[in-house]
Structure 1
């Protein structure tokens, strides 16, 4: 098990920048919802590289994405 990216919606919607989506190396993983004005992560596709966190937190100083342990769903 590894960490995946999770967007903090309220924090992300303050900026409407979409920069994190440009840097995610995994297609269809980090996307932007134009209606809700925040990015979101398809956690099943996220490889845990944390590049989006680096862009958001370290380069842009926005702190709207964190790495978290994914929730385990019992079937």
Structure 2
């Protein structure tokens, strides 16, 4: 496992893009709703097709939003 700290002194980077076998994964941070509550979006993008001409698909949700349970904004 590789652990990546996806932020710097000025705050988080906007998008972490990961390429893997069969899919790309985007982790989008630093966004917030109109009330100022921060959230992170995770997108799974299957290769359709990949470099070898193979089409991949996913089972389940391809987009997930992660937000604080109490709905309060964090610095």
For Structure 1 versus Structure 2, the TM-score category normalised by the shorter chain is under 0.3
TM-score scaled by length of structure 2: 0.24
Which structure ranks higher in relative contact order (CA pairs < 8 Å, sequence separation ≥ 6)?
1
TM-score scaled by length of structure 1: 0.24
Q: Quick check: which one's helix share is greater?
A: 1
Q: Which has the larger radius of gyration?
A: 2
